[in-house]
Amino acid sequence: MRSIHKVQNSAVAGVIEALLLVGLVAIIISMIQLVYIPQIMEQREADHMDQVFNQFSTMKSMVDMQAMSESSSPISSVLTLGSSKLPYFLTVQSQGKMALVNESTSSISLDGAPLSFLSSLEYDGMNVYFIEQNYILEGGGIIIKQPNGSPVMQ
């Protein structure tokens, strides 16, 4: 006589359950990385550009105060060049660069005597997620440039 043995398949169900859970976790992490992280990083870069504009305004007021008092003492101002990336996720850190540009040809006539400005300070915000913007301190004003727009003086 033959004996029939039942085969237990309970171990297979545990392996399939573990694979499905790993797949679910991978889908959730991918969804966060592809949808929410770019939105968060865009907001962080926008906040950083607001901070840079405030710092540029402070720098402009310091230059104005120095010009009004006719002082030749050195001044300093803080300027944040970039924003940090998010930990544990694949993000790109935004960067910026500050340069003294000697190509400007701005001039102002005051009581018939022309005053020329031979240089300007330019911050180039090399954003990845947010619109690239340049802030230029020239001729006593702050100029904001964007790639597809006209420069605006604040």
DSSP helix/strand/coil, 3: coil
Mean pLDDT of 102-107: 60
Higher pLDDT, 89 or 1: 89
Q: Which pLDDT value is given to residue 27?
A: 95
Flag the least confident range among 46-50, 57-61, 101-105, 145-149. Answer: 101-105
SS3 60: helix
Residue 107: band (very low, low, confident or very high) from pLDDT cuts 50, 70, 90: low
- Determine contact, residues 124/130, Cβ cutoff 8 Å: no
- Tens-place pLDDT, residues 81-101: 888 888 888 888 888 898 888
Query: What pTM was computed for the model?
Result: 0.72
Contact between 134 and 122 under an 8 Å Cβ cutoff? The reply is yes
- Residue 19: other Cβ atoms inside 10 A: 10
